[in-house]
Amino acid sequence: MECSPFARLGFLPFGGRSTAIKLSNGDVWVLASTPLNDETKSKIGEIGPVKYIIGADVEHHLYLADFKKQYPEAKVIAPEDVVKKKSKEGLVFEGAWGADPENTKYGFEDDIQHCYFSGFQNKDVAFFHRASKTLIEADLLLNLPPTEQYSKTKTSSRIPFLSNAIQPFGSLHKRLTWAIGVDKEAMKRDAKTVAGWDFERIIPCHGDVIEKNGKAAWMEAYKWYLE
């Protein structure tokens, strides 16, 4: 995992994180969400050759081209709206959630399951790494403040006026999750799919990693969809 500070709207500390996973065949799968600096390249190089570069939703696409330039043999896969946007800039994709048939296999399914949230405003994809019992996601679940992601800066990770309110066990998170579900029935379907996965840990792009009781965190954040 590679963490970095990131402020939504320029002042709300959300933090950012890219996550790399070594697959059982030795290839590396990367959810690319932060700048590809020398430290990130070095860490990824220690893991193995990058085979998949993942854009997790319509907001997490800024660095996909940088990753592809560094790892030209890797397959870039992202939601349909990202593909439409970035293809105009010359980036080539090998997969598009929302445009590809529902049961499309991209090659990493032996290790990582995926669920495309078509009813979510940001068109997010949730990922489940079975071997480590880990859920990886971008904007589907937040765990703020991002203390780890701001740990190497002098800037506070606290969110003005909200403190710890935007975390999965807080009532505000449930309200946000409900509000940005543009298709409630699709959200219920996909929230239940993720709830059926056997994960203990959650690695979010925004906020601290939830090392234990990740399933409970998901069930609480998506309670209104799962009732």
Length of the chain: 227
Per-residue pLDDT of the chain (227 residues; tens, 9 = 90+): 544 434 343 435 456 789 999 999 999 999 999 889 998 999 999 999 999 999 999 998 999 999 999 999 999 999 999 999 999 999 999 999 999 998 999 999 999 999 999 999 999 999 999 999 999 999 999 998 746 654 454 554 455 555 566 789 988 889 999 999 999 999 999 999 999 999 999 999 888 899 999 999 999 999 999 99
Calpha distance 222→24 (Å, rounded): 31
Return the pLDDT at 60: 85
Calpha distance 87→91 (Å, rounded): 5
In angstroms, the Cα distances linking 191 to 65, 88, 120, 159, 181 are 30, 32, 10, 27, 11
Return the pLDDT at 147: 61
Return the pLDDT at 3: 41
Domains assigned to the chain: 2-99+112-226 (3.60.15.10)
Strand, coil or helix: 140:
coil
Sheet of strand 28-31: strand arrangement? 2-4, 16-22, 28-31, 50-54, 75-79, 95-97
Calpha distance 157→26 (Å, rounded): 36
Nearest to 25 by CA among 49, 56, 58: 49
Calpha distance 76→65 (Å, rounded): 9
Contacts 24+ apart (CB under 8 A), 61-66: 61/85, 61/86, 63/18, 63/32, 63/33, 63/34, 63/35, 63/36, 64/32, 64/91, 65/89, 65/90, 65/91, 66/35, 66/36
Count CB atoms within 10 A of the CB of residue 102. 8
Nearest to 194 by CA among 177, 172, 179: 177
Residues 6+ apart with CB under 8 A from 105: none
* Angle, helices 214-221/171-179, rounded to nearest 10 degrees: 60
